[in-house]
Amino acid sequence: MKIYPRTEKYDPAWISENWMGPNPLWLLEDLCEHLELKPGMKVLDMGCGKGITSVFLAKEYGATVFANDLWVSATDNLRRFEEAGVADKVFPIHAEAHALPYADGFFDAAISIDSYEYYGADELYFPCTYSKLVKPGGQFGIVVPGLVKEYDSGCPDTLKDLWVGEMFSFHSKDWWRRLWEKTGLVEITSCYDMDDPKEIWWPWAKWAKENFSKEWGDGGDFDERFLNADTNNEVALVVMSAVKK
């Protein structure tokens, strides 16, 4: 599997204490290879979870980060940012994706790691909401779970017994590219499937089997069963970046 040198600087125990899916720092580091982030840039970290991606953006790139999440309270995230020594650069926000408290054109970049699929697969979301947040010439970047191609039934046959409603937002890289490209609002700068997606996903699946129930209840073995069922390797992790025209 690919080595992520920036991520290696962070304590694995801290990452696993705060992740909510496949290692978000690996996903973010891969994405950032296709972004031009500079100190002082205002960056939206949309669906930041417990904020470790926000910490990474502040420490690695000197960005001023607005750490936006619905499921995790801003107060809890502020504590984590204080402990990480970045509370002067990372500002926790509790807001739903369709009711964001930001001015149009406020951000230099908007990033979403393993979150955009929950709200951004709606064809109206990018042109009517998300694209407006970033100034002309600004950048967008997402990493989402997906599939290597589209399927008439919505999912591969090997996964149909495990497919649940929210997974109908899992799409191919070409589907995601078309979703943004057809708006005419951006130029796509990268769109690809990450190498070894299941190798990236497995550490989270193993951790979840042992620890998920302590915080979120039943279902900790789901990711393990899901990855094992994907015998044809049809699951993907899709990376896409773009620049606003």
78-88 average pLDDT score: 98
Mean per-residue pLDDT for 106-116? Answer: 98
pLDDT band, very low/low/confident/very high, at 89 (cuts 50, 70, 90): very high
pLDDT in tens, 171-201: 999 999 999 999 999 999 999 999 999 999 9
Residue 182, CB-side half-sphere exposure with 13 Å CA sphere: 8
Can you give the pLDDT at residue 23?
Answer: 98
Q: Which residue has the higher pLDDT, 37 or 166?
A: 37
DSSP-based three-state secondary structure for 161: coil
DSSP code per residue over 32-98: HTT----TT-EEEEET-TTSHHHHHHHHHH--EEEEEESSS-HHHHHHHHHHHT-TTTEEEEE--TT
Residue ranges per structural domain of the chain: 7-154+165-198+235-244
Q: Rounded distance, CA 214 to CA 211, Å?
A: 6
What's the topology of domain 7-154+165-198+235-244? Rossmann fold (3.40.50)
> What is the per-residue burial (b if ≥16 Cβ within 10 Å, else e) of 129-140?
bbbbbbeeebbb
